[in-house]
Amino acid sequence: MPAISSQKVDVDDHVTGNLWTVDDIHELAKYIAVIALGQAEHAAEIIHELGTVVPVRSRSEFYQEAREQLRIRGTTTKQIEVSRFHRDGFLFECISWIVAHQTADGNTFLKDPHISSTTQGLDGLIIQMDPVEKVVLHTTICEDKCTENPRKMFRDKVLSAFTEHHQNKRGPDLLANAVTLIRHSGLRGTQATLAAEKVYDITCRTYRAALTVNSNTCNADELQKLFKGYDELKDISKAQRIGATFIVPGKLRDWFQELADHVIAALDEFEAMEAAHV
């Protein structure tokens, strides 16, 4: 059973809706714990092979660093708030990455979640390669936002970022990330850079906005309001505008604190298992 379920939902004639729900918070926490240890590649293999979620053997200091990443830091109200927002953003980015990997094949390459919860930049990137021709078939640019105001976040931040990408105003960053992913297909150097040029072609591009919502935002009317303006990205189809929503049971920050606690517990469990086998 996957840690997260994803199902299509109706939005409107311009947006393809996806609804994400957690099936097992304990299993989800284990995946995130593996990612926090710097082992995203290993986590991806576990997802694809439906294997038992355990990390590759790691150092004790790495466990401690991973735990610290899941804790809130700061001495002032503002510092604590910023730390919480960064931490929860990292957790949600991991959730988005896990969902994408659950449907990815061997020719699909994903940008790993930011291992540091304070790292800024492109949230997510998915590159689909032709297994024979070694050319880019499709690119998906992801914006993942853990927020208590999803409409404002989509309107002011997500749509703005997508618009800049749609006008190829973030070209160097997009290209650099694409080249890194394309290298996993076996292409190197100039060949990888030339293949990455395809990411500028909007006819082969999808945008995926992922936002945290409460259960009241699960009907078509509310989703239309949430993703209003998505059709400002012109000359692409409905399938190329994905609006993903993640239902948070209860209060947003409380639930993400619960998830962080589960991740720390998973790290403790993994470390204890390693110590027992020394």
Higher pLDDT, 2 or 127: 127
Task: Summarize pLDDT for 192-228 with one digit per residue, the tens.
Answer: 999 999 999 999 999 999 999 998 888 899 999 999 9
- According to DSSP, residue 40 is labeled H
Measured distance CA(166)–CA(233) in Å, rounded: 7
Say what the pTM is: 0.94
Taking only the tens place, the pLDDT of each residue in 44-54 is 999 988 788 99
CA distances from 85 to 12, 72, 91, 199, 202 (A): 31, 9, 10, 30, 32
* Range list of H helices, 167-219: 171-182, 189-196
Residue 116: pLDDT over 70: no
The SS3 assignment for 270 reads: helix
Can you tell me whether residue 233 is helix, strand or coil?
A: coil
Average model confidence (pLDDT) across the chain: 93
- Give domain limits for the chain: 4-276
pLDDT of residue 278: 60
